[in-house]
Amino acid sequence: MLLEKTRPSIETIERNGKVGETKQSPKQSDEFMITRGREFVVRHRRGADINELMRLVLDFSRGRGEVIKAGRKTRLAFFETKTGEVLIKGYERLSFLNRVGALLGWSRGHKSWRASLGLAVRGIETPQALALVVKKRHFFPEKVYFVSRSTRPLLELDRFILRHKNAPDLLDRLVYELAESVGGLHRNGIYHGDLKSMNIVIGKGEDGGMMLSFLDLDRVLFLKRVSVRRRAKNLSQLFITLPIAIDARRRREFLSIYLRSMGERGSGDKIIARTGEILRGRMIHHVGLDGQDIYEDTSALFNDIFGR
């Protein structure tokens, strides 16, 4: 079951299970390669079981797997494999413009693939990218699938906080690690366009400390410098998605550690002021342990941190 040059459909691939001759891209590395077929282009780690990858994509296209999100534009599902659990994010309803973007290598799936590799090279934790599969029709991209390692059993940041809201020392340590991690992104010229608490998962690192890993990478940018406007936007995204268990004292501490990690001198006040402008009147919105949406009033926190 792989990419044959005789233009099999995805159903034909499942039926005959044969591996045809493939063409490799000249743009390859010691770690990654590209396998091309008439209907598919697969960027993948060298040595990956392509037959298994394509079986997973086939199963995903038929609605199988443990579906955790089924939106209008994207769908996510977990699958068990012989080497561990993987997550597939499928973009199966591409508009004409999005298909053109996929042809040029700028679909959301392509962006996630590049961002995952770019973060890994810079030492930033994120789920390991396994493959990017582009299904074509008449040589034109029709669907895109991004395959990565699963982060389970790590918890999303908001749920981790709720689970440990009565452990003050742990929350203090978390605030420090979070501020250092966000500062690390911005110091490295990395901007995450959707830096909400549900797009960060947390677990134990190899040294026994906390490890924060970043998800939902299709809006990650690699820049020479992250502007004050973008940094303030990231800080405000976190502010309105962190449960109120992270109180005003801890939020002030977060800002202090973040600015110190950035080596701020002149622009610190600008960032705080810009963040306050974005946040004024906003509600906290996060996801509870049971998956329900929770809204919390931020007025007391806001006034304590930014003034009236």
Over residues 248-265, the pLDDT tens digits come to: 999 999 999 999 998 876
Mark which of 149, 172, 190 sits at the end of a domain. 149
Is 110 within a domain?
A: yes
Over residues 200-213, the pLDDT tens digits come to: 999 876 666 788 99
Is 5 within a domain?
A: no
pTM score of the predicted model: 0.85
Domain that holds residue 100: 10-149
Query: Based on the structure, what is the number of domains in the chain?
Result: 2
Q: Is the pLDDT of residue 276 over 70?
A: yes
CATH code where residue 182 lies: 1.10.510.10
Q: Is the pLDDT of residue 27 over 60?
A: no
Q: What is the mean pLDDT of residues 175-183?
A: 95
Is 302 within a domain?
A: yes
Is 1 within a domain?
A: no
Instruction: Note whether 131 and 177 are same-domain residues.
Output: no
Instruction: Note whether 27 and 144 are same-domain residues.
Output: yes
Partners of 132 in beta bridges: 43, 146
CATH code where residue 137 lies: 3.30.200.20
Q: What is the mean pLDDT of residues 46-74?
A: 91
Distance CA 37, CA 43 (A): 12
Instruction: Note whether 183 and 225 are same-domain residues.
Output: yes
106 CB-near residues (< 8 Å, 6+ apart):
none
Is 135 within a domain?
A: yes
* pLDDT, position 208: 66
Q: Is the pLDDT of residue 61 over 50?
A: yes
Partners of 167 in beta bridges: none
Residue whose C-alpha is closest to residue 181's, from 200, 168, 207:
200
Is 198 within a domain?
A: yes
Is 224 within a domain?
A: yes
Mark which of 117, 149, 181 sits at the end of a domain. 149
Instruction: Note whether 79 and 93 are same-domain residues.
Output: yes
User: What percent of the chain clears pLDDT 90, i.e. is strictly above it?
Assistant: 66
**Cβ neighbours of 16 (radius 10 Å):** 12
Distance CA 32, CA 105 (A): 16
Mark which of 90, 125, 149 sits at the end of a domain. 149
Q: Could you identify the residue written with the tokens 């800002």?
A: 255
